[in-house]
Amino acid sequence: MEAGFTAQTRGELKAKLEGLLQSSRAEETNRNNTKLSATSDVANNTITKLPPIRLENGDQSYSIEATKLEFIQDKAFRKLLTSRRRFGIRRYSISCSPELFEAFVDWINKRPLPLQYQAAKYSAQFWIDHAVSAWFLARKLTAVEFEQYALSQFIQNCSLCLFGPWQRVQNEAPRKSSLFLFSRHWIAWNHHLSGGRNSEFTGLKAASLASQVSKYTRDPRIYDLEHWYSACGADLNPGLECSHDTIRRKENQSRIEKQERLQWMDSDEWEQQRWMDIQELSRRK
């Protein structure tokens, strides 16, 4: 996840961050890792100033005031930046690639909503490659809305993530977290569809759950994002009690609309519709 800079990429990063972040001029440092840092001063239990955010690499450092990015609107992120201690200074350092830092700041400035899954549509290459890393960064920053956005990007593009993130998710993601639960369902479902043949999912713990997959098991991408933050997200076959199944919701809506139309039909139209329903049921069997 950490990235070094060549002379060319250092110059490119400086130009991007100075333009995007309106950062202060470069400061001299002796750090070797790319880090996202936040420092908070607290005196007499009164927060006097939100701390700056710094991206550091080697002898380069770029800063931006948190207030310029409207961090104050995000309560969870503000809590991270401000110390809960009565006195003293707290410093947070998080390893992060410059590309992820730039994506996080871009998200803060634009505040796009999480994606709603659309079949056969994919995001820019950055999100195909880095959605999982963005999710882990969001967890470290306790930036809940950014976590949801990163998860939605991963769900939209996970079919293109062949060998990259699955082992990392298994080893590092908390067991009840949204990313872990979605990945668990995705791996089990795909391993079942492959008939247990060797694939990128072979050897993963979630692959052993393929035996629980049935004809009623959904493609996990069709669920509302909230599903992966709810108790039903841990069940491969949540059933009728789950309200996040978009397919069932559409079917129910169609059924309601059909019943409303039937109320206005005369006897001949009703018989005709009834006959069509019987034919459709026979065709499905």
- Same domain, yes or no, for 212 and 268? no
Looking at 110, 134, 158, the residue that finishes a domain is 110
- Same domain, yes or no, for 35 and 133? no
Q: How many domains does the chain have?
A: 3
- Same domain, yes or no, for 233 and 250? no
- Same domain, yes or no, for 16 and 106? yes
Cα separations in angstroms, 218 against 89, 141, 145, 246, 254? 49, 32, 26, 10, 19
Q: Taking the complete model, does pTM exceed 0.85, yes or no?
A: no
- Same domain, yes or no, for 188 and 259? no
pLDDT digits (tens, 9 = 90+) for 88-121: 444 445 567 778 888 988 898 889 999 999 999 9
* Cα–Cα distance for residue pair 240/227, rounded to 1 Å: 13
- Same domain, yes or no, for 143 and 185? yes
- Same domain, yes or no, for 227 and 252? no
Whether the pLDDT of residue 122 is over 70: the answer is yes
Range of the domain at 264: 245-285
Alpha helices in the chain (DSSP H): 7-21, 75-81, 98-110, 125-141, 144-157, 166-172, 178-193, 246-262, 267-284
Looking at 240, 255, 274, the residue that finishes a domain is 240
pLDDT digits (tens, 9 = 90+) for 19-51: 554 443 333 333 333 444 433 333 223 333 445
Torsion (CA) 156, 107, 23, 83 in degrees, nearest 10 = -110
- Same domain, yes or no, for 120 and 163? yes
